[in-house]
Amino acid sequence: MHTAESNGRENALEFIKKYPEAATKILDNATKLVVKYLIAKVEAGAQMLQVFDSWAGILSKDDFDTFSKPYLLKVKLTISCLLTNTINPSTSIHPCPDCEGGQGRN
């Protein structure tokens, strides 16, 4: 959804409200792609990974908890597990402050 620039924010918000099931499918697929991309970055020598949701600030707390937080956590947990077990145990993972401890967005 980030690629839609003209009225992108309004369109994205309208889409997740109108089609929440489709939005979660899109976000699931995007999450899988992000994980593959980050794995490739580590395999290419990246020593640090930074992931953030550039549109999280436009979401309500409930929308953040539904449409952002689970996917950020899935990326973090999947990458952490893969790095620890197979790829590069020395690469560090730093938690997303908004994702840890169920804090969510304001």
pLDDT tens digits for 79-104? 888 777 665 555 555 555 555 444 44
* Token pair in block for residue 52: 């953030």
In contact, 104 and 98? CB cutoff 8 Å? yes
Q: Cα–Cα distance between 21 and 67 in angstroms, integer?
A: 11
Residue with tokens 């991309």: 37
> Which DSSP symbol is given to 44?
T
Average pLDDT rounded to a whole number, residues 53-77: 89
pLDDT score recorded for residue 20: 95
Given a cut of 50, whether residue 106 has pLDDT beyond it is no
Is the pLDDT at 16 greater than 80, yes or no?
A: yes
Residue 94 has which token pair?
Answer: 């730093």
Alpha-carbon distance of 38 to 68, in angstroms, equals 18
Q: Is the pTM of this model over 0.85?
A: no
